[in-house]
Amino acid sequence: MEREYPPLLIAVLICVMLTGTAIAYGLLMDRGAPPPKQPTLPPAPTATPGTPVTTGVPVPVAARSFSISVTPATATARPGDTVRFTLRLHPESGFSAPVQIKVSATALGGVYRDNHDLGTVTPPYPPLTYEVVAPDLPPLVSTATVDATVTATGGGTVRTEQVQLVIRR
């Protein structure tokens, strides 16, 4: 009498045999492959006196950047008062690109919004003054805080500074 095997067992055995054959083929084919090429290095540079040598090793360079400061950082005024803010740009590591200055302000949960482009400053970066007239407050509001962000963009660098103006009746 002939013994019958379940079809699932036959399918599993076939899969195991095919997987083993594929692994053996991959291993045998890898043995006949040439070894991977090693990268060839250029000949060492020679220098004459007074001539810099290029080694291919990166030399760290201080990033040219800038920082900003705004004074006062917080001011208190009555509606209609004028407040003068002064922005100073501090170049670092030889930074000398033009820098564009913008101010965006919000108050009263976003009900009040104001945006200003203060222009572009160039070296030697003189202090930039900006005068703000405190807006009137809505009825039944005795105090409001205006949160402003000063954004300075130049030479691939962006810097921001936060400023507050508290308006009280």
**pTM score:** 0.62
Q: How far is CA 37 from CA 27, 33, 56, in A?
A: 19, 11, 21
Question: How does pLDDT run across 114-131, given as a tens digit for each residue?
Answer: 999 999 999 999 999 999
Tokens 């930074």 locate to 95
Per-residue pLDDT tens for 40-70? 666 655 555 555 556 666 766 667 899 999 9
Is the peptide bond between 43 and the residue preceding it cis, with omega within 30 degrees of 0?
no
CA angle, corner 167, sides to 150 and 140, nearest 5?
Answer: 130
Contact 65, 93 (CB under 8 A): yes
The CATH code of domain 65-168 reads: 2.60.40.3880
